[in-house]
Amino acid sequence: MTVRVRIAPSPTGYFHVGIGRTALYNWLFARHHGGTFIVRSDDTDAERSTQEYQDDILEHLRWLGLEWDEGIEVGGPHAPYRQTLRLERYHEVTDALLAVGTAYPCFCTPAELDERRRAAMAEGRPPGYDGRCRSISPTTALARRGAGEAASVRFAVPRPGATAFRDEVRGEMDIDHANVDDFVILRSDGSPTYHLASSVDDVDFGITHVVRGEDLLSSTPKHILLTEALGGQPIVYAHLSLLMGPDGRKLSKRHGDTAIRAYRERGIIPEAMVNYLALLGWSPGVDETVVALADMVERFELSDVSRNPAIFDPAKLEWMNGVYLRELAVDDFLARTLPLIEADLERGLDDEELARLAFIAPLVQERAKLLTEVAPQVRFLFVDEIGYDEDSWAKVMTADEIPAVLAAAMDRLSVIPEWKTAAIEEALRAMLETLELSPRKGLQPLRVAVSGSSVSPPLFESLEALGRGPTLARLAGAAARL
RNA sequence: GCCCCCAUCGUCCAGCGGCCCAGGACGCCGGCCUUUCAAGCCGGUAACACGGGUUCGAAUCCCGUUGGGGGCGCCA
């Protein structure tokens, strides 16, 4: 049997790290088994669904490299893969269930249900639907509907009864139907609920494994019951624990960024995000933290997925991002960084500037954790006027010997025969010796004078990249500002 | 309230009855290196929630307590 898995994001919000991880696990599972990964759109919530969110989801699925074999935008044998386009099918199924009595019309209004739910809670009874419309005879029900009375359709859960299944990450489950109420499958406005649409799609699309969040664990009997009623093949379930915020509560907006987009914009690269997400709840079985994608595919097993809720830790993500940044080929690093640099400068770089950037890039690559750190670090190479970081200035440009240092540096640098790192270093070290200054004392002022900050790429290389003219001008400029 | 899930360093993960006075990674602290910041290297800090069993032997199995999470919608 070929493995067929899916994710069914609802376009009611940006693609966030939680679904990202679920998508990744589905993808890894499919790839590991040579199966099919499907993406469909759960867009039945017309109120909250937007095209912007839909685009964001697909864009970031691709950004993470989780290409899908079948589904929305790419098509496939079960197209279209969006639920709003399959309403007829849901009605067809509902009618069939109604006909055999596996489902029944419910005439309770939302207001009534709400009131009863409140009362039940207050009295300590289970707040689920009490099943009162289940006893209405089919003829009476038909008459009432014929008379125009609004009705939703509920699934008649067998009682007494229980649903047992084996969850691939949690083990054997057995849920008594006393805890599964007669749930709505079709709203009174004719739209399908999540339970119906999702289960019908899973059956119709031949889904073999459902890997999803633990929040759906207690709804699983509903889906199994529906699947059986539809005559579908049994589906294997695997429920992933949820992602938490730093305070141990469910991850949400108030914890800061949960959107994958936000991390991308902050300078996280997809390789790092994927690696980090993969290990947030799954272990390849060895004490390794940085794992190549191919190895993940090779080793991924649902049985190795952790049952513990996991706290999303941006600090570790950033560390990992640094690891991946350093592993990048310089050209690749440059390619990913250039758009950010040009955006920062608000102009493109010419060939000569590109060459200077390429010269300095490896040195920046070594120290970056985020792609977004690069532009500010190299900005001084491409602007006419630099802005000084005031903290840096206050910290290093206030010592008594500063004027002498700047003057000596200008003297030395203006006469070196060749403007190369080695010659620059030699000249400046000679200067340090003459002035009897430590590198820290004598070189930091030059760094601030030239780059505007006490933090920059290595000084000698930076000067070479800047060029003699601009270097001398910056030194003079700083001297004038003292 | 009821039902379900979970429980190893601050965090993520390893451990699936003896190899564990518990291992790796992030973080944190210290050192080395050093032209800044990083990186790198070396070292350190820190956990089996609690109580009962089972067993020659328990982080590992069972029960309970506590704690955390999820669910109980004509949301998904």
ipTM: 0.95
Q: So what's the pLDDT on residue A248?
A: 76
**Cα–Cα distances in Å, from A218 out to A99, A176, A238, A403?**
27, 11, 12, 73
The set of residues, in sequence order, having a beta carbon less than 8 Å from that of A416 and lying 6+ positions away, is A423, A424, A426, A427
Burial of A385 (0-12, 13-18, 19+ CB in 10 A): exposed
Chain A 326-345, CB < 7 Å to strand B: 326
A127-CA/B2-C1' distance, Å: 8
Name the helix (H) or strand (E) containing A29. Answer: helix A17-32
Q: Where in chain A is the domain with CATH 3.40.50.620?
A: 1-72+241-327, 86-240
Residues 355-394 of A with CB under 7 A from strand B: 366-369
Take residue A168 and report the two structure tokens written for it.
């691939």
> Among candidates A315, A270, A259, which has minimal Cα distance to A293?
A270
The CATH class, in words, for A390-481 is mainly alpha
Active-site residue list of A:
253
Closest nucleotide over all strands to A121 (CA to C1'): B1
How many angstroms separate the CA of A303 from the C1' of B18?
25
Whole-angstrom distance, CA of residue A25 vs CA of residue A476 = 58
Any atom of strand B under 7 A from CB of A49? no
Q: Is the shortest CB-to-strand distance from A184 to strand B under 7 Å?
A: yes
**What's the residue count for chain A?**
482
**Nearest residue by alpha-carbon distance to C1' of B15:** A285
Asked if A407 contacts A434 with a C-beta cutoff of 8 angstroms, the reply is no
pLDDT of residue A184: 97
Q: Given this model, what pLDDT does residue A287 score?
A: 83
Mode of pairing for the β-strands spanning A184-186 and A171-176: unpaired
- Gap from A310 CA to B57 C1', Å: 33
So what's the pLDDT on residue A254? 66
- Tell me which residue of A225, A222, A207, A218 sits closest to A167, measured CA to CA: A218
What residues contact residue A344 under an 8 Å CB cut-off, 6+ apart? A375, A376, A379
Domain with CATH 1.10.10.350 in chain A: 390-481
Q: Is the CB of A109 under 7 A from strand B?
A: yes
Q: Determine whether the distance from the CB of A248 to the nearest atom of strand B is below 7 Å.
A: yes
Task: Kindly list the averaged pLDDT for each block of 10 residues, start to end, along chain A of length 482.
Answer: 93 94 98 97 88 95 98 95 95 96 95 89 83 93 93 96 95 94 96 96 98 96 98 97 85 78 96 97 90 95 94 96 97 97 96 96 96 96 93 91 95 95 96 94 96 95 96 96 87
**What fold, for A1-72+241-327?**
Rossmann fold (3.40.50)
Token digits of residue A261: 């987009």
Rounded-to-integer distance, Cα A81 and Cα A9, Å: 11
Mark the nucleotides of strand B covered by protein, meaning any atom under 7 Å from a CB: 1-8, 10-15, 23-27, 34-40, 68-76
Distance from residue A229's CA to nucleotide B12's C1', rounded to whole Å: 41
DSSP, res A84: G
Specify whether the CB–CB gap between A372 and A467 falls below 8 A. no
Strand B within 7 A of A127 CB: yes
Residue position matching structure tokens 């190479």: A381
Residue A141 Cβ < 7 Å to strand B: no
Domain spanning A86-240, CATH architecture: 3-Layer(aba) Sandwich (3.40)
